[in-house]
C-alpha cells in the first residue's frame, strides 16, 4: 500500500481533511504532494491532508526520510506544493514575519551576546528592520521577557560561545519568537540534548506556548516529547511520505514530567510506538480514521 493510499482511510468522505473543525485553519493542506527537482525528480510526500487550528500544538513524528522536514519547509514558504493546496494563515504563500522557525542546530552567532542573538532577526528581516532601528526599546524589553520566560534571566550579556547546549536552544527558541509569529515551526530542536536538559526544555516550551499561544508544528523522533507537548500527533510514513495516523492527546494541561509516568500518558506513547513499529516491521499499517477508536481522537 502506498503512503497516498494510507492517508485516505477507508470510509472517510472524499476530500475530508483530518483535523478540520469547520473553522479557518492556521495551516491547511489538501492532498499535497512535494516533488524535489533535479536530474531525477523525487517526490518526498504525497496525498497529505491536514488542518491545524490557530493556537493548536501539533507534533509530527515518523521514520527518517518520510518527509517531516519537507512539510515544515512548505509551511515556512521555503518550498511550494507540487500538487494539491497548501494554505498558511489563509494565504497560499505565507506572509513574511508570521512564521518563526527553530532548527536542531541553534546556529547562534558566537561573538554576539545572548540578547543580541535574540534580536538578530529584527535587524535583518525587511518587515521589522525599520521599526526596530527607529525604536529598539520595546523590542529589547520583549527579548528580555522572552529570556526570562525560558529561565535565562541574567544571561543576556553572556556571549553565545559561553552557553551550554541547553542554553543555546533556549536562546534559539526566543529568537524564533522575537517577532511574535503566529506560527512557530520547530524541527527537532531538542534532538541533540541530553535527556534531563531536554525535559527542562519541554517544560520551558510548554510555558512559552501557554503564555503566547502560537500555533506550533513540532517535528520530533521522541514520542514522549510529542505526547507531553502536543494537542495532536501526526504519524508519517511510507515513500513517498504521507500521514498514516492522527491521534489527539486528550491529557489535561498543564502537563508535568511526573505525569509522563501515569498510565494514560504511557498508553498514548504505546499507541504511537506501535504505529511506527508497524512501519519498521514492514507490515501494512491499518490506518485508523480521524475519530477512530484505535488511532485517535
Ligand X SMILES: Nc1ncnc2c1ncn2[C@@H]1O[C@H](COP(=O)(O)OP(=O)(O)OP(=O)(O)O)[C@@H](O)[C@H]1O
Instruction: Write down the least CB distance from residue 294 to ligand X, Å.
Output: 24
Q: State which residue, 23 or 64, has the beta carbon closest to ligand X.
A: 64
> How crowded is the C-beta side of 10, counted as CA atoms within 13 Å?
4
C-beta neighbour count of 261 within 10 angstroms: 9
Instruction: Write down the least CB distance from residue 276 to ligand X, Å.
Output: 12
Interacting residues with ligand X (CB under 6 A) = 36, 38, 42, 44, 64-70
Q: State which residue, 68 or 87, has the beta carbon closest to ligand X.
A: 68
What gap in Å lies between CA 290 and CA 125, rounded to an integer? 39
Q: State which residue, 51 or 70, has the beta carbon closest to ligand X.
A: 70
DSSP output for 217-234: EEE-S-HHHHHHH-SEEE
Instruction: Write down the least CB distance from residue 66 to ligand X, Å.
Output: 4
Q: State which residue, 67 or 100, has the beta carbon closest to ligand X.
A: 67
On whether the CB atoms of residues 42 and 70 are closer than 8 A, the answer is: no
Q: State which residue, 43 or 53, has the beta carbon closest to ligand X.
A: 43
Instruction: Write down the least CB distance from residue 42 to ligand X, Å.
Output: 5
Instruction: Write down the least CB distance from residue 238 to ligand X, Å.
Output: 11
> Which residues sit opposite 235 in a β-bridge?
61, 245
What gap in Å lies between CA 6 and CA 103, rounded to an integer? 29
Amino acid at each position: 500500500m502506498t503512503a497516498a493510499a494510507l492517508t485516505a482511510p477507508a470510509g472517510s468522505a472524499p476530500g475530508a481533511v483530518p483535523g478540520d473543525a469547520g473553522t479557518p485553519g492556521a495551516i491547511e493542506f489538501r492532498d499535497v504532494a512535494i516533488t524535489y527537482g533535479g536530474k531525477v525528480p523525487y517526490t518526498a510526500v504525497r496525498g497529505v491532508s491536514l488542518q491545524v487550528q490557530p493556537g493548536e500544538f501539533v507534533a509530527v513524528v515518523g521514520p527518517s526520510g518520510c518527509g517531516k522536514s519537507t512539510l515544515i519547509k512548505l509551511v515556512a514558504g521555503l518550498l511550494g506544493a507540487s500538487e494539491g493546496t497548501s494554505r498558511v494563515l489563509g494565504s497560499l504563500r505565507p506572509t513574511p514575519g508570521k512564521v518563526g522557525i527553530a532548527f536542531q542546530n541553534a546556529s547562534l552567532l558566537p561573538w554576539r551576546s545572548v540578547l543580541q542573538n535574540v534580536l538578530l532577526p529584527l535587524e535583518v528581516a525587511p518587515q521589522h528592520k525599520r521599526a526596530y532601528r527607529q525604536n529598539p526599546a520595546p523590542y529589547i524589553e520583549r527579548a528580555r521577557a522572552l529570556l526570562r520566560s525560558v529561565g535565562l534571566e541574567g544571561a543576556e550579556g553572556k556571549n553565545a560561545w559561553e552557553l551550554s547546549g541547553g542554553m543555546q536552544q533556549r536562546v534559539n527558541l526566543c529568537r524564533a519568537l522575537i517577532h511574535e509569529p503566529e506560527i512557530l515551526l520547530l524541527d527537532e530542536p531538542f534532538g541533540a540534548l541530553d535527556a534531563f536538559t531536554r525535559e527542562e526544555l519541554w517544560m520551558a516550551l510548554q510555558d512559552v506556548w501557554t503564555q503566547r499561544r502560537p500555533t506550533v508544528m513540532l517535528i520530533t523522533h521522541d514520542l514522549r516529547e510529542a505526547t507531553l507537548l502536543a494537542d495532536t500527533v501526526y504519524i508519517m510514513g511510507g515513500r513517498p511520505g504521507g500521514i498514516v495516523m492522527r491521534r489527539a492527546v486528550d491529557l489535561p494541561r498543564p502537563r508535568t514530567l511526573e505525569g509522563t509516568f501515569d498510565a494514560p500518558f504511557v498508553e498514548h506513547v504505546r499507541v504511537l510506538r506501535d504505529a511506527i513499529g508497524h512501519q519498521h516491521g514492514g507490515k501494512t499499517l491499518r490506518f485508523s480514521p480521524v475519530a477512530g477508536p484505535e488511532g485517535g481522537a
